[in-house]
A and B are shown apart, each in its own frame.
Chain A
């Protein structure tokens, strides 16, 4: 490999790894270097994100670059760090060993970041240092003598500004130069180095390189005095959450309607252009309706993630975790669980995927287990239907009774999540004391490029999920609701066709189970296709009551029918059931993927079922007793 390489475009692609502390701007630099040409996946067998992209150098050469998870040191303490270490050392099966390493350091925090550089240097691999956020350092009056830093470290050093469109120019030029000749490296030093030894060396270097460094210039203490204040901080947090919810539930309306409309149009088009038959039914009722029912949450998920990425990039989220850690610690969850649980209000699927940031396995599992208790937006159509039909439009102290009921259902979800977490952490997943040790980075202005890139990634992951396992489940459910077909000579007057299908049989069988909680056979049948996505129950009830039409009109037509046909106790019991609603198969599939075992999704379904049943039973009996 080390013969004269020259600026020859036919060179073999070299693989370079980006390594750095968390919060050093490494991923922003990676986005700048690779642009949209990146592939995001998981490392085999673990849920650690693997990001690979191509970097085009100015001389036409192309190198592949991998963005390794952030690490505080090369002694791995988290799965992320474990992956980083194994990839660098070439011990991770199926991964190319990087030919060279670019160590990214935060110019405003060399005191911490240089320790990792010194550790990397001891590996004896080709290494280059990118001093990132050089603009912020300059603005803070921090002068770093890069030439001196380079000579003291014995490594090439360049300056980068990951949030400027040309902020990687020096790095590209340096890479070109390094690749044009054999890249020298220091001899490996395998003797263990203690943090204290490393820090002594860092102090020595800093005294030479940035002797006049202003101390504590990084943080905006005045802002923190408000944001992290025991009272005002919580007020700010509540306001932020309110804004996010407002956005998720009002801004998402028109794109959701557009998706629904598009799906309906596709369905109609297929109906008009295909002969009737099983294939058409599969396409229209299974694929288009089923996948569309999940896709419709895409706008809400994207809006939610937009805010989460914004808060993450700006440095706010760890502070929210700081504020909530004590509260969440009381039920055994980590402050870090805040972000996944927040995401779960849109949909539990991205929420469960976001638990990856929780290093402790038991803490993570507890968070995954309670994520479905956060009221996801799929429950809203069901809530809206039932509240519209059974809760009178009255005002209670200036507030709408219907609004209060909806709020109460949300609160019931959160309270039961806290209770369940408390029980789990005491009975099953006892993990004892867990350290927090969460970095609170300085506030930064989020970059549009990173927001866009992050959002694109989320959308991509979600769509792949919809296209894979969720798609397969929809087809199975379609089959269950369609076959066997009603007998010859059947007409609609004899009841809905779904009665004769497997789903119908299951519904009738289930009615024995559900009768004590007041569910009639129509509800029992609707719960079966409702396993696809909770809001499908509304459409399924429409089918059972032999109504037809688009989703929205079904709900309108259904409201008077059920208001007449169901008792108040039945309606309330169904509302209570949906607070827990165990039957979202997509969520269970994602839990299976994230935990690599069927044990946890099965347990989750079982405990949610028991809770849902108990809550519905209690609600039904109490309402009956009160005269409902």
Chain B
């Protein structure tokens, strides 16, 4: 499953980061890793921007990032159930 497919509020774990489009080069993928999108890190899609598509406000670990759809499509995740605390 891709990060971009998660509904708002859903939690997941990053599985891997792979290019989903010819527009996304290795530099962008490496940067995603440097920002914390690393296998095993917890992520949550908090909300989407006006229009409901992009950008996505994504929390990875303890950091919140705004990602455009194309970046979010490069992040494969595994959805997990987390009790809301």
Q: Interface of A with B (CB < 8 Å)? A: 72-73, 75, 77, 108-109, 111-112, 115, 194-196, 199, 203, 215-216, 218-219, 221, 224-225, 228-231, 233-234, 318, 321-323, 325-327, 329, 335, 432-433, 435-442
A218 touches B62 (CB 8 A): yes
Q: Bound state CA distance, A73 and B54, in angstroms?
A: 26
A230 touches B68 (CB 8 A): no
Q: Bound state CA distance, A281 and B33, in angstroms?
A: 63
How many interface residues does B have (CB within 8 Å)? 39
CB-based nearest B residue for A434: B68
Report A368 CB to chain B, min CB distance, Å.
Answer: 22
B71 touches A230 (CB 8 A): no
A439 touches B64 (CB 8 A): yes
> Which of A215, A224, A437 has the most chain B CB atoms closer than 10 A to its own CB?
A437
A230 touches B52 (CB 8 A): yes
B36 touches A436 (CB 8 A): no
Contacts of B53 in A (CB 8 A): 326
CB within 8 A of A230: which of B23, B27, B51, B66? B51
Report B73 CB to chain A, min CB distance, Å.
Answer: 11
Q: Bound state CA distance, A438 and B39, in angstroms?
A: 20
**B2 at interface (Cβ–Cβ under 8 A)?**
no
A322 touches B63 (CB 8 A): no
Q: Bound state CA distance, A410 and B57, in angstroms?
A: 32
CB-based nearest A residue for B16: A196
Other 16 A-B pairs with CB < 8 A, given A75-B34, A433-B23, A435-B67: A72-B31, A72-B34, A75-B30, A109-B62, A112-B63, A230-B52, A322-B66, A325-B49, A325-B68, A433-B21, A435-B28, A436-B67, A437-B32, A439-B63, A440-B65, A442-B64
Mark out the residues of chain B between 6 and 56 whose CB falls within 8 Å of any chain A CB in the assembled complex. Answer: 21, 23-24, 27-28, 30-36, 38-42, 46-55
Report A288 CB to chain B, min CB distance, Å.
Answer: 47
A436 touches B46 (CB 8 A): no
A219 touches B64 (CB 8 A): yes
B33 touches A437 (CB 8 A): no
CB-based nearest B residue for A199: B38
Q: Bound state CA distance, A348 and B33, in angstroms?
A: 36
Contacts of A195 in B (CB 8 A): 30, 33-34, 36, 38
What are 29 sample pairs from A and B whose C-beta atoms fall under 8 A apart? A72-B31, A72-B35, A73-B34, A75-B30, A77-B31, A77-B34, A111-B63, A194-B33, A195-B34, A196-B38, A224-B46, A224-B47, A322-B55, A325-B55, A326-B51, A326-B53, A327-B50, A329-B54, A335-B55, A433-B21, A433-B70, A435-B70, A435-B71, A436-B71, A437-B67, A439-B35, A439-B65, A439-B66, A440-B66
CB-based nearest B residue for A233: B50
Contacts of B21 in A (CB 8 A): 433
Q: Bound state CA distance, A433 and B21, in angstroms?
A: 10
**8 tightest A-B CB contacts, nearest first:** A195-B33, A433-B23, A73-B34, A230-B50, A440-B64, A111-B61, A438-B66, A322-B66
Contacts of B36 in A (CB 8 A): 111-112, 115, 195, 199
Report A137 CB to chain B, min CB distance, Å.
Answer: 11
Q: Bound state CA distance, A497 and B30, in angstroms?
A: 66
**B78 at interface (Cβ–Cβ under 8 A)?**
no
Q: Bound state CA distance, A335 and B56, in angstroms?
A: 13
Contacts of B65 in A (CB 8 A): 437-440
B50 touches A326 (CB 8 A): yes
Report B55 CB to chain A, min CB distance, Å.
Answer: 5
A112 touches B38 (CB 8 A): no
